Amino acid sequence: MSFNGYKAFRKLMFIFVPTNKRKGIIIMMEIGSKAPEVLGHDENGKEIRLSDFKGKKLVLYFYPKDLTSGCTTQACNLRDNYAELKKQGYAVVGVSVNDEKSHKKFIEKHDLPFPLIADTEQKLVEEFGVWGEKSMYGRKYFGTFRTTFIINEEGVITRIMLPKEIKVKEHAQQILGK
**C-alpha Rg value of the chain to the nearest Å:** 16
Q: Are 92 and 171 contacting, i.e. CB atoms less than 8 angstroms apart?
A: no
Q: Are 43 and 116 contacting, i.e. CB atoms less than 8 angstroms apart?
A: yes
Reduced to 3 states (helix: H, G, I; strand: E, B; else coil), residue 129 is coil
**CA of residue 19 relative to chain centroid, distance:** 16
- The DSSP element (H or E) to which 82 belongs, if any, is helix 82-87
Total count of residues recorded for the chain:
178
Q: Are 58 and 140 contacting, i.e. CB atoms less than 8 angstroms apart?
A: no
Q: Are 73 and 40 contacting, i.e. CB atoms less than 8 angstroms apart?
A: no
Q: Are 124 and 90 contacting, i.e. CB atoms less than 8 angstroms apart?
A: no
Q: Are 93 and 57 contacting, i.e. CB atoms less than 8 angstroms apart?
A: no
Would residue 76 show up in a list of annotated catalytic residues for this protein? no
Catalytic residue among 25, 71, 116, 117: 71
Q: List the catalytic residues.
A: 71
